[in-house]
């Protein structure tokens, strides 16, 4: 009996290299976020502006630690709302709705999916952060010359918070828990970032040191001084960068773990 002919199996597409895949995912997610998240960006910005106006009733303007903490914390809070809260919800919904299965079938490295999405959400916060920082500087009569440091604060704090938000969304067993974790993380960024650290009890300050965004807050607050200590600001940003790398590595691991289930 003659052997039956076997159908030729088409080879799978080769896996895309990391950097081209990362750029593709970044552009796709940024386009999606631009359409779906603009109203929420307005909410995040107005929320931070409202907090600064509220705190203006109890915090004096001028060069003071309290005024700098309020402005810097409110600016970074925009990043926390989008990169931490919304990204936790996004990945929680992807996991629950089977969206991760779609990404798993593409020849795209897991690292590119996690990092590209996190970078898109962090980049989306730039207009709100700049508007909040400038408005806060004017409201509290602080020098604005050092706001160029936002070029480092936004990507570093954004990477740390986006990595944390992605990990929370991917590790939470249900999307409701991912949303809850994102909300709790944003509340922690609000309470521990906006309120002046010098007036917090010592145990609360230990908790503050564990939140990655507070190092970006401290660096930005230093930049709002008339004569900033750039060495101290660089040290804070270095810590923020290290935590950001660890948070993004955790998000990549969580994505691989969730995609294989």
Q: What is the DSSP letter of 173?
A: S
Q: Which residues of the chain have a pLDDT value below 70? A: 1-16, 33-37, 261
Q: Which residues contact 105 (CB under 8 A, 6 or more apart)?
A: none
- On whether residue 125 sits in a domain, the answer given is yes
Residue 227's pLDDT is: 93
What's residue 37's pLDDT?
A: 63
Q: Is residue 202 part of a domain?
A: yes
Residue 193 lies in a domain: yes
Whether residue 167 contacts residue 37, with contact meaning beta carbons closer than 8 Å, is answered with: no
Q: Token pair for residue 243?
A: 């935590």
Q: Is residue 4 part of a domain?
A: no
Residue (of 118, 214, 124, 126) closest to 169 by Cα position: 118
Q: How many Å apart are CA 34 and CA 39, to the nearest integer?
A: 9
Residue where the block lists tokens 């976020």: 33
Asked if residue 100 is part of any domain, the answer here is: yes
Nearest to 190 by CA among 109, 60, 28, 69: 69
pLDDT recorded at residue 10: 42
Q: Which two tokens stand for residue 107?
A: 């020849």
- First vs last C-alpha separation in the chain: 44
Query: Is 179 inside a domain boundary?
Result: yes
Q: Structural domain of residue 184, as residue ranges?
A: 18-27+37-259
8 Å CB contact between 136 and 217: no
Nearest to 123 by CA among 27, 20, 19: 27
pLDDT at 226: 93
Q: Total domain count for the chain? A: 1
248 inside domain: yes
Within a domain: 9: no
CB contact at 8 A, 233 and 151: no
Catalogue the E-assigned strands of 1-117: none
């Amino acid at each position: 009996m003659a052997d039956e002919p076997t159908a030729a199996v088409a080879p799978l597409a080769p896996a895309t290299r990391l950097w081209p895949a990362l750029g593709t995912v970044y552009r796709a997610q940024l386009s999606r976020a631009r359409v779906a998240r603009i109203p929420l960006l307005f909410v995040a910005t107005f929320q931070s502006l409202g907090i600064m106006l509220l705190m203006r009733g109890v915090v004096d303007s001028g060069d003071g630690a309290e005024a700098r903490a309020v402005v810097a914390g409110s600016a970074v809070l925009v990043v926390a709302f989008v990169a931490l809260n919304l990204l936790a919800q996004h990945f929680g919904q992807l996991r629950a709705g089977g969206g991760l299965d779609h990404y798993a079938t593409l020849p795209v490295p897991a690292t590119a999916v996690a990092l590209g999405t996190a970078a898109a959400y962090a980049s989306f916060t730039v207009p709100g952060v700049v508007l909040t920082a400038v408005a806060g500087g004017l409201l509290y009569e602080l020098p604005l010359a050092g706001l160029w440091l936002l070029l480092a604060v936004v990507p570093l704090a954004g990477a740390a918070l986006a990595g944390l938000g992605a990990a929370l969304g991917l590790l939470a067993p249900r999307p409701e828990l991912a949303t809850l974790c994102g909300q709790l993380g944003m509340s922690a960024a609000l309470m521990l970032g906006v309120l002046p650290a010098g007036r917090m009890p010592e145990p609360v300050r230990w908790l503050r040191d564990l939140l990655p965004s507070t190092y970006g807050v401290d660096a930005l607050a230093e930049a709002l001084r008339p004569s900033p200590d750039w060495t101290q600001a660089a040290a804070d940003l270095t810590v923020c960068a290290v935590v950001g790398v660890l948070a993004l590595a955790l998000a990549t691991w969580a994505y691989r773990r969730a995609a294989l289930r």
